[in-house]
Amino acid sequence: MASTAHSTSQYVKIFYILLVLTVVEVGIVYMGLPKMLLAGLLIILAVWKAALVALHFMHLKFEKTTLMMIALSPFILCVFLILMLLPDIFPG
């Protein structure tokens, strides 16, 4: 693992990135962009922020592959969940 002094400055850096991304999120909502473009941008920003938290604050970047696979499993299951429910959303 990296030295603590290094990781502390790294944590603060991640904090600023998260802060800027949050401001951007709120900003683009007020900008009145086309609906689909706005939705796409917001989802990208949310996944980006979630990945930063998981990789750096939860140290996933520095862990064994086992933990990464455990962490990814619910997302894969959720994709299956959405696919299985699609017939309900678009019947016929």
Q: Which residues bind other proteins (CB under 8 A)?
A: 1, 4, 7-8, 11-12, 14-15, 18-19, 22, 25-26, 29, 38-39, 42-43, 45-46, 49-50, 53-54, 57-59, 63-64, 66-67, 70-71, 73-75, 77-78, 81-82, 85, 88-89
Minimum gap (Å) between residue 4 Cβ and other proteins: 5
Minimum gap (Å) between residue 58 Cβ and other proteins: 5
Q: How many helices (H) and strands (E) does the chain have?
A: 3, 0
Minimum gap (Å) between residue 38 Cβ and other proteins: 8
Helix extents (H) in the chain: 4-30, 35-52, 65-89
Residue 45, both tokens: 């920003």
Q: Where are the beta strands (DSSP E) in 1-92?
A: none
